[in-house]
Amino acid sequence: RAGMAGAALSRVPAVQIDGHGVFKYVLLRVRGDGAPHKDIVRGHGWAEYHADLFERTAEELARHGLSCECLGGGRLAHRPEERKIHVYGYSVGFGRADHAVTTEKLKAEYPDYEITWADEGY
């Protein structure tokens, strides 16, 4: 079981965000039975609330036998023409995500971007 959960976990992309714009994001901790956890970032403009991102991702993960918890949220300002992403803000429902963790995840996905974060702003 742990082997299957680990394989499913390894296929979960660490980052899935919209290609441009300002939108809400959540930092999620994904787990499988007996497998180690993995933190992932999800951010999309279609989400009116942080909970929308969490619920849709939780449903997708559940189909692969994985569960997740929300570690917090915030906003992303993605400016691909400038190769910049700024991480800031918080989620009223889930609290502020650890933007430093989110920034590291984004840097791994966008190595040629300038990625900054701040605890200020909403």
Asked if 68 and 29 count as a contact pair (C-beta separation under 8 A), the reply is yes
Whether 87 and 26 have beta carbons less than 8 Å apart is answered as no
Query: What does DSSP say about strands 114-117 and 84-88: parallel, antiparallel, or unpaired?
Result: parallel
Determine which one of 44, 50, 86, 99 is catalytic: 50
CA-angle at 97, arms to 108 and 117, nearest 5°: 60
Q: Of 118, 110, 119, 111, nearest to 20 (Cα)?
A: 110
* Structure token pair of residue 84: 């910049």
Q: Is 44 a catalytic residue?
A: no
84 is in an annotated binding site: no
Residues noted as catalytic: 50
Binding residues: 24
Binding residues for substrate: 24
